[in-house]
Chain A
Amino acid sequence: MSILVLAEHHNGQLAAGTAHVVGAAQAIGGDIDLLVAGENVGGVAEAAARLDGVARVRVADNPAYAHQLPEPLADLLVALADEYSHVLAAASTEGKNVLPRLAALKDVSQISEILGVESADTFTRPIYAGNAIATVQSSDPLKVITVRTTAFDAVSEGGAASIEALDYIADSACSRFIGEELAQSERPELGGARVVISGGRGMGNGDNFKLLDGIADKLGAAVGASRAAVDAGFVPNDMQVGQTGKIVAPDLYIAVGISGAIQHLAGMKDSKVIVAINKDDDAPIFQVADYGLVGDLFEILPELEQKL
């Protein structure tokens, strides 16, 4: 078997999720190649080559792939796919955008967001917002798979894969990039942070999220939010943790003023330790929290920040 992993990168940095996808590829077993597609991605390719277990990094460095638009990226993957038994990517907004397109062009099914590898053709994945886990078997010659990165350990660094340039240039005239508005933050990204502190509707307004910032700075944490807080306009959608936002599984998850709707739990219940701070003693979040603290968050948060 041979597996191609689509590497993800942002601003010239290899995304943390890629090492987890390589971890999933190792669970399947076989030779693992990484595809780095983008513009001026030499540094990304070098970082990718250091990942353990990677045999070869294939680099498509061309303006055609500059913004990871799915049309040229899927064409590039189609050109390479016949050499592989599996193509994997993170179940990120990028992987989810590109891989179904590849699968359809190769006339195979796509398996979304796997949680586990039973064998080279059998995988577990969440359905119904994680309220059920399906085991699915693929009979397709090519397995096209997105991986929930929090479900697999990252491979470490220490490898020295070969780097090979690809000269295939996909040409897609049906879409073009206009612009991007990316959240600027000094903090770790939500998906990869060791500690996440999230606020819900109980925060009252967007300004009060500053109360979380101080604690996040002390813990090196990412700041998230529930869908209720996003819908209420407190914070932007890219901070949303939950079924309809980001799936996180940090070592420590602190839920502040979050009642614990099923849709939020779906995004964080695999965290190792969950802390809930809420004034409502009966809030469902306490049913999944390892440590619950009932009280007024406006008193608790400053005290917590001071004492950490």
Chain B
Amino acid sequence: MKVLVAVKRVIDYNVKIRVKADHSDVDLTNVKMAMNPFCEIAVEEAVRLKEKGVASEIVAVTVGPKAAQEQLRTALALGADRAIHVETDERVESLTVAKLLKGVVDEEKPDLVILGKQAIDTDNNQTGQMLAALTDMGQGTFASEVAFGEGVEAGEVRVTREIDGGLQTVALKLPAVVTTDLRLNEPRYAKLPDIMKAKKKPLETKTPEALGVAVSSGLTLLKVETPAERKGGVKVGSVDELIDKLKNEAKVL
């Protein structure tokens, strides 16, 4: 079984963001970048499927500028067999990314596509669902478990999903799209020898034009602002004082 795993280069999750002075966007100059945490979980899941003998080949794909190849090398170091870089310097929104990934899916014909449920920069949570729609596949979003084999029918994947009220399990016909939630797995770190080996693994570059996709957008980013900061209040000295304040000052009891 072939698994396609999509990754995104984003600001490192530990970095405190700054909004540009002209409010045009968040300032990413000289900021540490990394693989989106949910994408790390997606790569890890693909690698585990290969270790279990379910997957035979893992292809990592990203859409973004030249620098995003760094994240593809990380995916290769973690266990992907080869990588595809769809190179564009433009701001690409979820629908465009989904169209570009569809182009890659049409060429690669994977049995399973794994993506992170959302990127921690735009927080859209759309691309996997959109890719599933465009390729007419079933979708298992916010996965906490991805199962093949025992108890699962041949030609299907069973996905347990994190939903608001608890967990939901669905069976999807392959090929299918899965997006990862936090509890699916704990990603490993790449080992130094694997990082060295990853430099020799194949990495192919494609253009949006070659995939027949026009990079366009139905959305214009008008401005970006820093949210109003919440001010800290007072420390109280006892439970009695707390109850008194909540009753008589805040009036919420």
**B21 at the A/B interface (Cβ < 8 Å)?**
no
**A26 at the A/B interface (Cβ < 8 Å)?**
no
Rounded to whole angstroms, the CA-CA distance of A136 and B19 in the bound complex is: 16
Q: State whether B250 touches A290 (Cβ < 8 A).
A: yes
**A156 at the A/B interface (Cβ < 8 Å)?**
no
**B226 at the A/B interface (Cβ < 8 Å)?**
yes
Q: State whether B94 touches A100 (Cβ < 8 A).
A: yes
Q: State whether A97 touches B134 (Cβ < 8 A).
A: no
Could you say which residues of chain B place their CB within 8 Å of the CB of A94? Answer: 163-164
Q: Which of B168, B225, B235 meets A286, CB within 8 Å?
A: B235
Q: State whether B95 touches A176 (Cβ < 8 A).
A: no
A272-B252 in contact given A100-B94, A286-B232, A292-B236 (Cβ < 8 Å): yes
A297 to chain B minimum Cβ distance, whole angstroms, is 11
Could you say which residues of chain B place their CB within 8 Å of the CB of A67? Answer: 168
Q: State whether B234 touches A101 (Cβ < 8 A).
A: no
Q: State whether A137 touches B220 (Cβ < 8 A).
A: yes
Number of A-B contacts (CB under 8 A): 242
Q: Which of B94, B139, B233 meets A292, CB within 8 Å?
A: B233
A84 to chain B minimum Cβ distance, whole angstroms, is 16
Q: Which of A127, A135, A176 meets B123, CB within 8 Å?
A: A127
B18 to chain A minimum Cβ distance, whole angstroms, is 9
Q: State whether A300 touches B133 (Cβ < 8 A).
A: no
CB-defined interface of A264-308 with B at 8 Å, one 1/0 digit per residue? 000001001111000000000011111111100000100110011
Stretch of A48-56, A107-115, A205-213 contacting B (4+ beta carbons < 8 Å):
A107-115
B42 to chain A minimum Cβ distance, whole angstroms, is 15
CB-defined interface of B105-132 with A at 8 Å, one 1/0 digit per residue? 0000000000000001111111111111
Q: Which residue of B lies closest to A110 (CB)?
A: B126
Residues 138-193 (chain A) with a chain B CB within 8 angstroms: 138-140, 172-183, 189, 191
**B53 at the A/B interface (Cβ < 8 Å)?**
no
Rounded to whole angstroms, the CA-CA distance of A289 and B182 in the bound complex is: 27
Per the CB 8 Å criterion, the residue count for chain A at the interface is 85
A174 to chain B minimum Cβ distance, whole angstroms, is 4
Could you say which residues of chain B place their CB within 8 Å of the CB of A275? Answer: 242, 246
**A1 at the A/B interface (Cβ < 8 Å)?**
no
Q: State whether B220 touches A112 (Cβ < 8 A).
A: no
Rounded to whole angstroms, the CA-CA distance of A229 and B170 in the bound complex is: 27
Q: State whether A246 touches B164 (Cβ < 8 A).
A: yes
Q: State whether B239 touches A104 (Cβ < 8 A).
A: no
**B154 at the A/B interface (Cβ < 8 Å)?**
no
Q: State whether B218 touches A104 (Cβ < 8 A).
A: no
A128-B26 in contact given A109-B94, A133-B224 (Cβ < 8 Å): yes
**B55 at the A/B interface (Cβ < 8 Å)?**
no
Could you say which residues of chain A place their CB within 8 Å of the CB of B161? Answer: 93
Q: State whether A139 touches B220 (Cβ < 8 A).
A: yes
A136-B221 in contact given A182-B166, A304-B239 (Cβ < 8 Å): yes
**A134 at the A/B interface (Cβ < 8 Å)?**
yes
**A122 at the A/B interface (Cβ < 8 Å)?**
yes
Known: A109-B93, A112-B123, A112-B126. 5 other contacts (CB 8 A): A97-B129, A138-B218, A172-B138, A189-B165, A293-B238
In the assembled complex, 14 residue pairs joining A and B whose CB atoms fall closer than 8 Å, in A order, are A94-B163, A100-B129, A102-B133, A134-B221, A139-B218, A172-B138, A175-B172, A179-B169, A181-B167, A244-B182, A275-B246, A287-B232, A288-B230, A293-B238
